[in-house]
Structure 1
Amino acid sequence: MRGHRQLGSTGRTGGRGRDGGRGFGGGRGCEGGRAFGRTQNGAQNGAQNGAHSRAHSRARRRARDRGQVAIEYLGFLPILLLAALAGLQLGLAAYVAQQAGTAARAAARADTTDEPFPGGASAAGYASMTGWVRGRADVSVSGGVATVTVTIPQVVPFWDFDPVTKTATMPVPPDASDEEDLP
């Protein structure tokens, strides 16, 4: 009965005969429950078990695959980092534009109110910005029109933005001397 195939306990074809081969259990490896020990007809299949070597080769293949995934991740990491920096750069540009608009409105309002702001209308514009934006800003005020220009910090090395310029206009109240001349 050397060449005929035997049915294993799962109903699948098992080993090649009495002298070893794949053993019983359908060739599923160690998880088949009968990878080591004796087969149904008494043959020892320990070291000659092909299922064990297949399971071992699958484990080696999985270990190689894990290394391949790590290399693919390292290749994708610069692209992911660049996308994150681009998002940060756009958010920073929007924040600087918002701060410039707030400073322009504050400076124009301070220029047109009856009560002068300590240090002048330009100081009101500078005071309305956060510290790191204030250091990059230029505020100019004249006749109720305030213009604020802020340079945007560069996060992405090759991506440069023009400075943000915001202007605000407030109505100038009439002088008290002009009211006396009216009929």
Structure 2
Amino acid sequence: MPARRGGRDDRGQVAIEFVGTVPLILLLVAAVWECVLIGYAFSLAGNAADEAARAGAVHGPAACQAAAEEHIGAAWGPKAVCVQSGDIIRARVTLGVPVFFPGLDFGEIDGTGGAALEKEAE
């Protein structure tokens, strides 16, 4: 039988530390997930703007909105605006960022793209 030290022992210390650190770890995971959502929103907005500009260059500015919304789900709240300036179609896609915690607001993320008009050969 091992000799006992006088005073308190440290049984249960690991359980107490585990209970104390789990909420911090979960909070960190949630913060990382929100950062992933924001980065993914930037990627989606840029891709949708490029696709919208390309569709606008080939089929006219009317096809721009449909092309932007084709690649993005409704949860992102996409809004696309296409403008023709000279021989270039410029598209701007705005997305709302879904938040992991209700009550947070990160605003909107914009993506821009442009493409040269494509004219049919006569």
Question: TM-score normalized by structure 2?
Answer: 0.78
3-state SS of paired residue (1:104) = helix
* Larger CA Rg, structure 1 vs 2: 1
Aligned position for 1:11: none
CA shift digits 1:79-136 (9 cap, x unpaired): 11111011100111111111111110111001111x469x722101100224533xx2
Separation in structure 2 between the aligned mates of residue 125 and residue 88 of structure 1, nearest angstrom: 25
Deviations 1:47-103 (A, max 9, x none): xxxx6xx47x8xx94xx52x2211111111121111101110011111111111111
Partner amino acid for 1:97? F
Distance 1:138 1:126 in 2: 8
Q: Residue 25 of structure 1 aligns with which residue?
A: none
CA distance in 2, matches of 1:159, 1:168: 28
Structure 2 unaligned regions, length at least 5: none
1:97–1:139 CA distance, 2 compared to 1 (3 A): same
Letter of the structure 2 residue corresponding to residue 137 of structure 1 = P
The residue correspondences of 1:71-82 to structure 2 (distance < 5 A) are 71-82=16-27
Alignment of 1:1-183 (within 5 A): 29=1, 54=3, 61=9, 65=11, 67-113=12-58, 115=59, 120-133=63-76, 136-143=77-84, 144-156=89-101, 160-173=105-118
TM-score scaled by length of structure 1: 0.54
The higher relative CO (CA closer than 8 Å, separation ≥ 6) is in: 2
Does the 8 Å CA contact 2:75/2:98 hold for their aligned counterparts? no
Higher strand share: 2
Count of residue pairs brought into register by the alignment:
116
CA shift, 1:170, in A, is: 0.8
Structure 1 pair 120–99 and aligned structure 2 pair: CA distance change class (3 A): same
RMSD of aligned alpha carbons: 2.9
- Cα distance 1:86–1:94, how it changes in 2: closer, same or farther (>3 A)? same
1:151 corresponds to which letter in structure 2? G
Aligned partner of 1:43 in structure 2 is none
How many angstroms does 1:148 deviate by?
0.4
CA distance in 1: counterparts of 2:91 and 2:60, whole angstroms = 15
Percent identical among aligned pairs is: 29
The alpha carbon displacement at 1:159 in A equals 5.4
Q: Which runs of 5+ in 1 are unaligned?
A: 1-28, 30-50
